[in-house]
Structure 1
Amino acid sequence: MEANTLQIPSLEFPTPSAISPLADDVQAHSFKWAHEFRLESPEKLKRFNKGKFGWYAAREYPAASYEELCLVGDLITWLFTIDDKCDRFSSGGIEAGWLQDMLNGFISIMEDGQSSVDTPLNEALVNINQRFSRISSTYLYSLYAREMVSYFEECLWETEMQKGNYSPSIGEYLQWRPKTGFYIMFPLVSIFGKIHLPEEVYENELVKKIELMLNLTANLANDLHSLERERALKTKGLNLVLIYEQELNIPLEGAIQQISEEYHRNLQTLEEYRGSLPFWSREINAQLDLYIDGLYIAIKAYFDWALIDTERYKSKA
């Protein structure tokens, strides 16, 4: 099947769309911030405006303040800079050793709070972390830092996978794919929403299942949205459609259909999980509802940003 004939099913996510009226202002700020921290050469900076990362931030947290949205816009801009560098490596454009050293340096920053090497990306990450630490509780900041480290660890694993030209299994996908970014945005729901839940609620088994299912569901959608882009890479990345095609020995059309069906099953499972949450108290459960609603909005933001605001995952053919 040629890339320009792929039929990708339309996926709906069951939450109303929302966006802050500050989207354009946040976009302008994050473009300026990326320039100040020299994240790319001047001739490549225009891709940050094309990416509309400020709009993505404004969709994820539509009720957040300007300063909070600027922080998210900067974080997303930084994360997609890393994501694109990893994509360029899988296309053969970046040496693996350099990329691994860079990722290990980011882990050290998250663990130690400072950079031992002055690079634009390191300095920008320190800046983001310092701003988060000023507005977060110790616990919520620790959740954010933990998920950032998990993301870098996944990038390292994927680099090893690509170096060895290794195709991951379905089981490895389920182990590693949730670490690729959506989790990072979950603690921010509580930080910006001034949600104060006991740690035992955040760590509750069913709450964790809801977070994981939301993460996996969003990634299934991303795997479908990004399929044409990733098929064009020299080395295939962590895309479940391609993994199904190979491991299950089925046509690509069949793999696409299976992923779509799994996506819709996940939505039903999410509703069942949410309806089975334990009762702590009226106040705690009301706060928990706000938190989970915020997670849904953050996931919906991805759909609107990827399919309405940008052409990031559209075929170049």
Structure 2
Amino acid sequence: MGPDFIPALWAPIPPAIHPRYADINNATARWAHAYRVGSPQLRGRLVTQDIGLFAARILPQGNEDVITLLSDFVLWLFGVDDGHCEEGMLGRSPGELTATLHELLRIAQHPQAPMLIDDPLASALRDLSRRVDRHATPAQAARWVDALREYFWSVVWEAHHRAAGTVPSLNDYTLMRLYDGATTVVLPLLEMGHCYALNADERDHPAVRAAGEMASFVITWDNDLLSHHKEHRSGDYYLNVIRVLKHETGCSTGQALATAVAQRDRVLRLFLRLRTQLQAQAGPQLRQYLDSLGRFIRASQDWGISSLRYTTPDDPAPLPSTFSNAPTDDSDDPLDIPVISGWWSLLPARSRETVPACPAP
């Protein structure tokens, strides 16, 4: 068993999928080809990665048109991330990347703007923006653009490290990973998918915002674990939590992997406790939103262990095929990561245990 073998991850949230998942998946493949998202080689890979199934798991009882919008949008995000950032020259030129993303952001705000007329990614984003406007309230559409801005600036931050060949601290990485995984851009679509708009006082309550951030943490940590094989064998610069932990502490790959699993387990336990507390006092729309956050976490897990994006059959990744029914870490104390340690103040502490930077060999 190699040092990058990923154990079965704890998955306490039950799976679900929209019954029209196959049609949604096929529609996204047609959309990607129609708008020529990414190079032919990149597009050929993206349409085989079952992104429609991922979206159908996020909103298993949602509006089919919004699920298809979400699926198309996720594929578009991969077109930006894979094409511009990881595989393209812009990913090593933060200044040029900023200029390109700034133009794309303007198109998301104003799809009628006469900019990047012949650019396929821009044309696809125009379509996405117009569809968001059809299903969103003005406030939801504005939050979608704001979240897209957060995502764009975080990938510029990553491009800076890629250009310099540097590795950030765990604290800095944790902060930026809340945004550069593009999870926050999905959150407005959770409301749109069930045709409601959260009251601003509910959505912006510190505990509700923290629940969304916890979901982002678990989703991105899981993504780092499940994509590590693909990334570190590519021969290119990559940035994920296993590399960050190894760089910061000098521990082995296996020790870093165990630490990352313990971290995501501890945050997932906190998310479940906080969600239960919030749902006990919430109205139907907030309860639906909190349930959707959980669906998003589980969708990422199910898709992550099955999609060709991560299983990489040409060089099989040592991924689990099942999930665990118990966490590896059951402490209720904060993680030693200052940028997120405040989450634990939202619920009473129950223990004094802490997760060390890396476990003993």
Shorter-chain TM-score above 0.5? yes
Matched position secondary structure for 1:312: helix
Partner Cα separation in structure 2 for residue 157 and residue 17 of structure 1: 34
Aligned counterpart in structure 2 of residue 39 of structure 1, from 32, 37, 40: 37
Note closer, same or farther for the CA distance 1:115–1:17 as it changes in structure 2 (3 Å cut).
farther
Letter in 2 for 1:173: Y
Aligned counterpart in structure 2 of residue 314 of structure 1, from 307, 311, 316: 311
Matched, 1:138 2:135: no
**Any residues of structure 2 matched to 1:7-26 within 5 Å, and which?**
7-26=5-24
1:5 shift after superposition:
5.0
Which ranges of structure 2 fall in alignment gaps of 5 or more residues? Answer: 316-361
CA-based RMSD: 2.3
Note closer, same or farther for the CA distance 1:298–1:241 as it changes in structure 2 (3 Å cut).
same
Which ranges of structure 1 fall in alignment gaps of 5 or more residues? Answer: none
Letter in 2 for 1:13: A
Letter in 2 for 1:247: E
Matched residue, 1:81: 79
Partner Cα separation in structure 2 for residue 294 and residue 203 of structure 1: 16
Letter in 2 for 1:39: V
Matched residue, 1:264: 265
Maintained 8 Å contact 1:115/1:126: no
Maintained 8 Å contact 2:198/2:285: yes
Matched residue, 1:185: 186
Partner Cα separation in structure 2 for residue 209 and residue 100 of structure 1: 28
* Deviations 1:102-156 (CA, angstroms, capped at 9, x unpaired): 3222222234443522111001101101110111111211221111111111111
Note closer, same or farther for the CA distance 1:43–1:168 as it changes in structure 2 (3 Å cut).
closer
Higher helix fraction (1 or 2): 1
Maintained 8 Å contact 2:6/2:226: yes
Maintained 8 Å contact 1:162/1:235: no
Aligned residues: 309
Partner Cα separation in structure 2 for residue 273 and residue 202 of structure 1: 14
Partner Cα separation in structure 2 for residue 274 and residue 115 of structure 1: 44
1:60 shift after superposition:
1.2
Matched residue, 1:216: 217
Partner Cα separation in structure 1 for residue 239 and residue 7 of structure 2: 20
Note closer, same or farther for the CA distance 1:53–1:236 as it changes in structure 2 (3 Å cut).
same
Matched residue, 1:253: 254
Aligned counterpart in structure 2 of residue 298 of structure 1, from 279, 296, 302: 296
Partner Cα separation in structure 2 for residue 238 and residue 42 of structure 1: 26
Maintained 8 Å contact 1:17/1:301: yes
Matched residue, 1:51: 49
Matched position secondary structure for 1:176: helix
Note closer, same or farther for the CA distance 1:165–1:273 as it changes in structure 2 (3 Å cut).
same
Mean Cα deviation higher: 122-131 or 51-60? 51-60
Note closer, same or farther for the CA distance 1:58–1:115 as it changes in structure 2 (3 Å cut).
farther
Partner Cα separation in structure 1 for residue 6 and residue 42 of structure 2: 30
Maintained 8 Å contact 2:66/2:189: no
